[in-house]
Amino acid sequence: MKNQIHNKGRRTILKGLFAIPVVTIAGFQSTANAAMLSADDPTAKALGYTDKSTTEGQSCANCNFYQGDTAASGPCTIFPGKDVAAAGWCKSWVAKA
């Protein structure tokens, strides 16, 4: 009886441990597969987003809000759930710290 209770508790702990990586991987995939931000998005329009910067020396790739590292596109904290082009730009551009 005591062993059954002990085993049940161990199984519960193991299930919890296995659940953590699944949640982490699922969260990572949703960010990695985000849709590209459209220039027609109302917030994008308000901030003058373009997928090809015309401002010398400024692009998403060197903006502090860009989360895509060296990728051609990636997340931007200003546009949650969407990817922006590394070559893009908007009025919220701030030099990478």
Nearer CB in complex with ligand SF4: 9/48: 48
Nearer CB in complex with ligand SF4: 14/36: 36
Tell me if 93 contacts ligand SF4 by CB under 6 A.
Answer: yes
Tell me if 76 contacts ligand SF4 by CB under 6 A.
Answer: yes
Tell me if 62 contacts ligand SF4 by CB under 6 A.
Answer: no
Using DSSP, state whether 28 is helix, strand or coil. helix
Tell me if 34 contacts ligand SF4 by CB under 6 A.
Answer: no
Up-side HSE of residue 27: CA atoms within 13 Å toward CB?
6
User: What is d(CA 16, CA 89) in angstroms, rounded to the nearest whole number?
Assistant: 42
> Kind of pairing, strands 79-85 and 73-76?
antiparallel
- The identity of residue 38, as a single letter, is S
The contact set with ligand SF4 (CB under 6 A) reads 49, 60, 63, 65-66, 76, 78, 84, 88-90, 92-93
